């Protein structure tokens, strides 16, 4: 069975390393921090892993996770209810435009998105879908933004060259199953489930496609703090980054096998041994364990494409979006 195209990043992409932070002992109190994250999916899984494996404690932290969606997490950070939170780079630009400066200090997950078609569909590339009905997320989402950039790089306009049908996750899958659209924009773990059914295949893997074009997959989610926090509490930011980086390293090294198998249903809705095995592999690939100047510049280029397409606000220089 054909599975999604996997890829490895160039060796020039660097793992982020946090400055040493004293390991907590019985004699040293842990610093409590509140982090806004998701209760499900990869963000929730990573937060649970960091807690379960004592990784935060190794960096002198006790993390209180506030479980919420992306919009709520951004608001929690903006209002000071959380010290740090998961955030899409596109959201960071919108917050800056609205007057709230945030800084991304660690990567979390790549897009994990793809255009999925029926297995027997004749299409071989995105250009073959020109003029066809496709299911897509709403215009304000990162998933839509990534699809628009890919279309533009292939000489197409996502709004003019396709008959887009906007919908949410469950409705998009239903549209494809009923044959009402030729392709849908979808993300993990739903892609893995669709492919394992034997009825569908991946036409365009967003991460692989944008990696070819820009030298990096697109970052869907990173971890962010307010500019003020970054400037006044750099040691705390390094400690939180250290915990998240170590959590991602733990996953990408395969040390989370037993933990993933025990949490696959809870966080990803994966039930069968085949789904769990495939989902675990995709989970490892989709975590963004890289940081550094090359990464920043490549992500900035992707964001600049979105600005040029009118999907993102022009907020000037993007270099200070990232904590080096």
pLDDT tens track for 244-279:
999 999 999 999 999 999 999 999 999 999 999 999
**1 has pLDDT over 60:** no
The stretches of the chain forming alpha helices (DSSP H) are 41-52, 55-58, 70-78, 89-97, 142-153, 169-177, 190-196, 206-214, 227-232, 234-252, 257-268, 273-286, 293-308
Instruction: State the pTM of this model.
Output: 0.87
To the nearest whole percent, how much of the chain has pLDDT over 70?
A: 91
* 312-322 mean pLDDT: 95
Q: Which domains does the chain have, with CATH numbers?
A: 31-110+218-321 (3.40.190.10), 113-214 (3.40.190.10)
Confidence of residue 292 (pLDDT cuts 50, 70, 90): very high
pLDDT at 305: 95
**22 has pLDDT over 70:** no
CA angle centred on 47, ends 105 and 6, rounded to 5°? 75
**195 has pLDDT over 70:** yes
**Average pLDDT along the chain:** 91
pLDDT at 256: 97
The span from the CA of 225 to the CA of 248, in Å, is 19
**174 has pLDDT over 70:** yes
Distances (CA, A) of 1 to 99, 187, 202, 281: 49, 19, 12, 15
The span from the CA of 312 to the CA of 317, in Å, is 14
**136 has pLDDT over 50:** yes
What are 82-99's pLDDT values in tens digits? 999 999 999 999 999 999
* 171-188 mean pLDDT: 97
**104 has pLDDT over 50:** yes
Confidence of residue 28 (pLDDT cuts 50, 70, 90): low
pLDDT at 126: 96
* 47-64 mean pLDDT: 96
Paired with 87 in beta bridges are: 222
Paired with 67 in beta bridges are: 37
* 44-54 mean pLDDT: 96
Torsion over CA of 242, 110, 8 and 300, rounded to 10 degrees? -90
**107 has pLDDT over 90:** yes
**13 has pLDDT over 60:** no
Confidence of residue 24 (pLDDT cuts 50, 70, 90): very low
pLDDT at 83: 97
Burial of 291 (0-12, 13-18, 19+ CB in 10 A): buried
pLDDT at 11: 33
Distances (CA, A) of 110 to 24, 89, 217, 293: 32, 11, 6, 17
* 133-142 mean pLDDT: 94
To the nearest whole percent, how much of the chain has pLDDT over 90?
A: 89
């Amino acid at each position: 069975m054909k599975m999604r195209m996997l890829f490895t990043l160039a060796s020039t992409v660097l793992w982020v390393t946090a400055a040493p932070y004293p390991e907590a002992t019985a004699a040293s109190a842990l610093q409590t921090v509140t982090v806004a994250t998701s209760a499900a999916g990869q963000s929730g899984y990573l937060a649970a892993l960091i807690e379960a494996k004592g990784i935060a404690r190794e960096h002198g932290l006790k993390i209180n996770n506030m479980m919420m969606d992306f919009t709520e997490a951004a608001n929690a950070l903006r209002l000071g209810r959380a010290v740090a939170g998961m955030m899409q780079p596109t959201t960071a630009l919108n917050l800056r435009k609205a007057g709230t400066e945030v800084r991304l200090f660690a990567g979390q997950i790549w897009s994990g998105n793809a255009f999925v078609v029926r297995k027997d569909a004749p299409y071989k590339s995105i250009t073959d879908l020109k003029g066809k009905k496709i299911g897509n997320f709403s215009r304000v989402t990162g998933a839509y933004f990534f699809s628009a950039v890919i279309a533009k790089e292939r000489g197409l306009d996502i709004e003019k060259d396709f008959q887009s049908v906007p919908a949410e996750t469950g409705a998009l899958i239903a549209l494809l199953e009923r044959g009402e659209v030729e392709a849908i924009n979808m993300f993990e773990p739903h892609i893995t489930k669709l492919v394992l059914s034997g009825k569908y295949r991946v036409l365009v893997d967003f991460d692989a496609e944008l990696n070819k074009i820009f030298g990096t997959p697109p970052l869907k989610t990173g971890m962010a703090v307010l500019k003020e926090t970054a400037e006044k509490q750099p040691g705390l930011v390094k400690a939180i980054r250290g915990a998240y980086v170590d959590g991602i390293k733990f996953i990408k090294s395969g040390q989370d096998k037993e933990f993933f198998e025990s949490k696959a249903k809870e966080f990803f809705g994966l039930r069968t041994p085949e789904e769990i095995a495939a989902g675990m592999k995709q989970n490892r690939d989709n975590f963004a364990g890289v940081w550094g100047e090359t990464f920043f510049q490549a992500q900035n280029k992707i964001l600049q494409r979105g600005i040029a397409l009118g999907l993102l606000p022009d907020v000037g220089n993007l270099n200070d979006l990232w904590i080096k």
